[in-house]
Each structure stands twice: as structure tokens, then as C-alpha cells.
Structure 1
Amino acid sequence: MPGGSSSPPPRRAITVANDTGRIPWGQLSTREKAARSTQQSFNFLVVIVGVVMTGGVSYILYKEVFSTESKTAVFNRAADRIRQDPACVELLAGRGKGGEIQAYGEASWSRWARNRFIASRTETDRIGTTHMHMHFHVSGPLGKEGVVQVHMSKGRDESDFHYNTLALDVPGHDRIWLENADSGKLDKRNQGKMFGVKWW
């Protein structure tokens, strides 16, 4: 109508599904305020869940991959020791070819399995020492395959694992010891014994 004031068109009711936050809080009805509060609470919950999940994934990645105590780190260090040991290199690859030795997890029919599961277990004994046991497979260009046995331990007051056992077993050959701290402990226990009896 000429000269008259036109009223603004009625706006669409705000719901949980369509609220964009553009309408000021003071212009919302009680029901619309409840809808916005519900939506914001849901969004906040989604953010919290996302943060928790991200933190959980980051922790798992650190413990399993990046930590110096992770199975991946222990595996990589042990595999490098095999590649650098002259006796292991001579047996599996030939002199000077340690870099051609492959290390991988449990054997499988799958050609992708060499990048998969590394058999290991961790346990704590009655005096608080943590033990990590692991074994994995190695092979070289000479066609021989072997199994690497790893036993590491860490005392209650220690920050790092140290080797108890690191050895390579290849069928038809004597075991190659790279670390054998357990042997020294056994010798000490047997000192002064004869016929199974400790005399001094």
C-alpha cells in the first residue's frame, strides 16, 4: 500500500537441524533457545570426542612406533644389529652385503606379510623387572632364512631396556650370539656347585 510501512516477512522457525547462529539469542523463542542449546551441546560433545580420539591415536602411535621402547623400535634396532654383525652377514648375505638382509614378521602365504605382525610379548616379574620377548625372521641373498630371538629387560628403577639375549638361529648352523647376558647369570648361579650342591 503506498505510503504504508511493510512488515518484515515472518522468519523460519529455528530448529536443531537448521540453526546457523545468525539469529541473535534475544530474538529466539524459548523453544528456539532450547534447540540452539541442544545443537551447541552436541557440537561441543563432537569436538570433545574428536580430541579424545586424536589423543588416543597419538598415544598408541607413540607407544607402538615412535617410543624407543616400542616394539617397532626394538625390532628396527635388533634388525640393524643383525645387518652389522660380521658373522650374521657372512651367513645370510655374504661379506659386505649386510644391507641386503631383510627382516620381517611372521611368515605367511601373503607376499605382503613381511611388513606385518611381529611376534612379541611383555611381562613383569615378581620383583618388578619388565621383560620383552620378541622373535622375527630374516633372510638374505644367499637363500638362507633364520629367526632372530630377542629378550630385553628393564629394572623397576631403570628408564631403558637392555639386552639379555640377541641371537640368530639358521637351520643347519650353530646359533650366533650377539648378546648373551643370561649366560653370565647362569654361570654365577652355578659357581661353587658340584653335583648340584653348593659347597662354598
Structure 2
Amino acid sequence: MRSIQLRALPRLSPAPPALYSSPRIQTQITRLYTTQSNIGNGPQTTSSRKKSITVLSDDGRVQWGDLSRGEKVARATQQSFNFVIVLAGAVLTGGVFTLFYLEVLSPNSKTWQFETAVGRIKDDPECIKLLGDRREIKAYGEQTSSRWARNKPIASSTEKDRLGREHLRMHFHVEGPLNSGVVVVHMMKPLDKSNFEYQLLALDVKGHPRIVLEKASEKANVTSALKLFGIQWR
């Protein structure tokens, strides 16, 4: 077997102490140590310049005291614009709810009176006998020329008489398993009241006598009070 001989490497002698005592070498060593000790800690000081605040770029992160005069004007303009938008939205929402109440939920609306009259027809025994099962009675408005119209409008009109009393007149169609007919509605709002009162609520079916559900009776004292100088004011 062949033997392997290892040769010893020459031993390096340490640097002489005089080399480390040199001011230049000590300065370089100090800089190297400082650089290595700051690795991973990030820069000690940052000099980042704040972006200019405009009406479109302001996100509210910068404090008011740190803004310049022009930036304060930009922020005030942005906040004023946002306030106007919110106020306009609130007004529009209130208008929509008001219109919805007046047209649908109010007791004086045409929709409310239509639904009330339909309910009266379905609950009246004579109307049920003439039309058929109340659960199958349908109410609808006038036919329209539009083939795409889903809702049939209810024929109605409002007017005021000479005394300033408001009148509401409408008519609509009802159809049951036995017959179909027309409902006539006449309502009046007295001067001393805020809601309409029935003057006439009747069902007309062809070939049958009119069924009257409501009919106002004139009071003698009211009639005499409206008669002046031989003229009947109605």
C-alpha cells in the first residue's frame, strides 16, 4: 500500500501590533464595525418629502396644522363639496319618501282609495253574490294602446267646487267568476276635515240593478246654510 504524506502548511504570523496602532487603520476598522452593526436595522434617519395636497388627492391623513395655506384651502374645498353632495342626497331621499307617501300611503292618495274601494267590493255580500268568490275577484284599470304596459291606469280626476271643497272621482273594472262590472267612486273632502269622505260608491253590472255601497245624504242644515239670496251654492 502506498503511503500518503501530508505536508504541513506554513504558519502565518500575526500582524505586528504597530499595524493596528496606525490611526488610518483604526478609522477604517471603526467604520467597518459601525456599518456591520447597523445591518437589518434600517436607516437611522429618513428624509421623505411630503406630497402636495390637492382637492383630488387629499385623503385626510395629514394633520391640519401640517398643511400649507394652499393645502388648507384645498381641504376646505373638498370637505365643502362632500357636504353639498351628502346634503343633496338627503334632500333627494326625503323627496322620494314624501312622494311615495303622498301617492301610495296617504289616506288621500288615489292608490289608497282604490285599494279601499276594492276591499269594500270584496267584502260586500251583494257584490260577492253577483261577481262570485271574493278570492277570485280582480280589479284593474283602463285598457291602454301600449302592448308593453304592465299596469293599467285607473281613470280618476280631482277638482274643486265653488266652495273650495276637493272632489275625487274614479272608476275601475272588477271581474269575478260569474260577472264583471264597473265600480264608480265619488269622494269629497269637507272644508273642516283633512280626509276624503264617500259621496258615492257603487257597482254597475250589465243586466243587473246598481249596487250602492255608499251614498251621501244631504243634511237640511247644510243645504239651508249654503242657500243665499235664493241661489243654491254647491
TM (normalized to structure 1)? 0.79
Alignment equivalent of 1:160, drawn from 192, 195, 198: 195
> Counterpart of 2:161 in structure 1: which amino acid?
D
Give 1 or 2 for the bigger CA radius of gyration. 2
Q: Which residue matches 2:6?
A: none
Deviation per CA, 1:24-71: give whole Å up to 9, x if none.
111112221121111111110011111111111111111111112221
State the AA in 1 paired with 2:72. Answer: K
Letter matched to residue 129 of structure 1: R
Alpha-carbon contact 2:143-2:152 (below 8 Å) kept: no
Structure 2: gaps spanning 5 or more residues: 1-34, 224-234
The within-5 A match list for 1:51-70 is: 51-70=90-109
Q: Is 1:119 matched with 2:155?
A: yes
User: Which of 83, 95, 103 is the equivalent residue of 1:44?
Assistant: 83
Distance 1:112 1:91, change over 3 A: farther
Q: Identity of paired residues, percent?
A: 51
C-alpha distance in 1 between matches for 2:161 and 2:99? 24
Match of 1:77 in 2: 116
Q: How far is 1:123 from its partner?
A: 2.0
Conserved 8 A contact 2:181-2:203: yes
Q: Of 112, 125, 141, which residue of structure 2 is paired with 1:86? A: 125
Computed over aligned residues only, the root mean square deviation of the Cα atoms, in angstroms, reads 2.6
164-173 vs 44-53, which moves further: 164-173
CA distance in 2, matches of 1:112, 1:154: 32
Q: Tell me the equivalent position of 2:210.
A: 175
Unaligned runs of 5+ in 1: 190-200
**How many residues are matched?**
180
Per the alignment, residue 150 of structure 1 pairs with 185
- The structural deviation recorded for 1:5 is 6.4
